[in-house]
Amino acid sequence: EQQKLKRIKSTKAVTIDGISIDLLANIEVPEDVAAVKLAGATGIGLYRTEFLFMNRHDTPDEEEQFLAYKAVAEAMKGAPVTIRTLDIGADKQVNSDTVVSCANPALGLRAIRLCLAEPQLFHTQLRALLRASHFGHIKILIPMLCTLSELRQTKLLLERAKQSLRKDNIPFDENITLGGMIEIPAAAINAEAFANELDFLSIGTNDLIQYTLAIDRTDDAVAHLYNPLHPSILKLISMTIKAGIKLGKSVSVCGEMAGDARFTKLLLGMGLQQLSMHPSHILSVKQQVLHSQLAELKVQARKVLNLTDIEKIELNLAKFNQIQ
């Protein structure tokens, strides 16, 4: 099986009926790029920058961040590199003074909420990202958006960072695109409004499942209830994909669900054409893509979306995955 997978490494991820699917990689540190290349990913769909901030007592300055982002952009040689702004709090605690403990960290001051509350911290990261965009194809991704107001404040701060670079005569990609993570149920329900004001969307199923099903993603005692096939999860994913299609904006899934080959055909059938995952899953997901007939999968996915209980969805999916 491993041998078979290796053989498709340089094969393009195209369905039987000729639709090209983007298989992107998730990374946490610049050193992960080597694995991305080995796996044959077409770009980076999620660079979790918080790892640069974790397990240390100080905060990386603009130069240190710039060098990390630039290294990834250059190593990817013009392929897209989607860099997510700081997502700390909850399961990703930082040993610095910027994070205060609270009763429900997953519901607290994390990700974009923290960045908007700490504009200087955010400004430094935005400047570093913009500077690095001169050296490759960088896209900016905002985590944990819940309201349009957060998005508009973010855009204002991004514009301010651009202005400060122009003033300093430092080059950056003037056409840099801005995307948002859809990982809070409220954002998925309102996905059209976000798609309208963003260049692209990326569905974070890890948090979307946690918040929709009220299941702590880090709590083993409820891990058996954590199920991507809950009909409400599928509905939220489908709504988000449809919003993107309607407004002509690309949508990807970058949570763990994207790297699980059992879900590939279902996601393709729901209209998804971009998946971002740990590099080790690229080949097994590609194998599913190569055996997918999109037109047929769309018909089947519509049936699955009409089912209302998990057991029936699971049964249906097993059949679905047999389809060539």
Judged by the rule CB under 5 A, the positions of this chain that interact with Mg ion are 183, 204, 207
Tokens for 137? 């194809």
From Mg ion, ligand PEP, none, which one binds at residue 255 (CB under 5 to 8 Å depending on kind)? ligand PEP
Measured from the CB atom, is 43 or 204 closer to ligand PEP? 204
Task: Give the length of the chain.
Answer: 324
Catalytic site includes residue 115: no
Query: Looking only at residues 86 through 145 of this chain, which bind ligand PEP when binding is defined by CB under 6 A?
Result: 87
Q: Determine the number of helices (DSSP H) and then strands (DSSP E) in the chain.
A: 14, 8
Number of residues this chain uses to bind ligand PEP (CB under 6 A): 10
Measured from the CB atom, is 32 or 87 closer to ligand PEP? 87
Q: Which of 254, 270, 285, 289 binds ligand PEP (CB under 6 A)?
A: 254
Q: What residues form the annotated binding site for phosphoenolpyruvate? A: 48, 84, 206-207, 217
Measured from the CB atom, is 241 or 294 closer to Mg ion? 241
Query: Looking only at residues 200 through 239 of this chain, which bind ligand PEP when binding is defined by CB under 6 A?
Result: 204-207
CB of 311 to Mg ion, least distance (A): 27
Query: Looking only at residues 42 through 81 of this chain, which bind ligand PEP when binding is defined by CB under 6 A?
Result: 46, 48
Cα gap 74→82, rounded to integer Å: 13
Spell out the long-range contacts of 151-156 with Cβ–Cβ below 8 A and sequence spacing 24 or more.
151/180, 151/194, 151/197, 151/198, 152/197, 153/116, 154/112, 154/115, 154/116, 154/178, 155/197
CB of 190 to ligand PEP, least distance (A): 18
Helix (H), strand (E), coil (C) string for 194-248:
HHHHCCEEEECHHHHHHHHHCCCCCCHHHHHHCCCCCHHHHHHHHHHHHHHHHHC
CB of 255 to ligand PEP, least distance (A): 3
Instruction: Give kind and range of the element (H or E) at residue 3.
Output: helix 2-7
Q: What residues form the annotated binding site for Mg(2+)? A: 183, 207
**CB nearest Mg ion: which residue?**
207
Q: Which of 89, 255, 271, 279 binds ligand PEP (CB under 6 A)?
A: 255
CB of 276 to ligand PEP, least distance (A): 8
Cα gap 211→205, rounded to integer Å: 10
CB-side exposure of 185: number of CA atoms within 13 Å?
11
CA 324 from chain center: how many Å?
A: 28
Q: Note the residues at the interface with ligand PEP (CB under 6 A).
A: 46, 48, 87, 183, 204-207, 254-255
Enumerate the active-site residues.
Answer: 254
